[in-house]
Amino acid sequence: MSQTPVNPLINLLPLIVIFIIFYYLLIRPQKLSQKEHQKMIQNLNKNDEIVTTGGLHGRIINIKDKTIILRIDDNVKVELDKSCVAYLKK
């Protein structure tokens, strides 16, 4: 009884399939989400109502290079990094 040698690619095939599934279920959606968030941050405008990652709700009153000035209440203003913006309120 002689055994035929097994092709090394056949041994790697399950690992390759697992990587492809991992990429399409986890990595790719995360990259798309990051691109969408970055686009939203670049398109922020004065008077947009936003919610921060910390849960603060407010209106943008000034936009600088890397930060925004957010009005939370009549006499309360906070300066935040643009990356702290979670989403725009609709």
Q: Give CA separation, 80 vs 49, 74, 77, in Å.
A: 14, 17, 10
pTM of the model: 0.75
> Hey, where are the domains in the chain?
7-43, 45-90
pLDDT tens sequence across 44-65: 999 999 999 999 999 999 999 9
Q: How far apart are CA 43 and CA 49, in angstroms?
A: 13
Q: What's the distance, CA 87 to chain centroid? A: 11
Topology adopted by domain 45-90:
SH3 type barrels. (2.30.30)
pLDDT band for position 2 (cuts 50, 70, 90): low
Q: What confidence score (pLDDT) does residue 6 get?
A: 80
pLDDT band for position 16 (cuts 50, 70, 90): very high
Comparing 12 with 2, the larger pLDDT belongs to 12
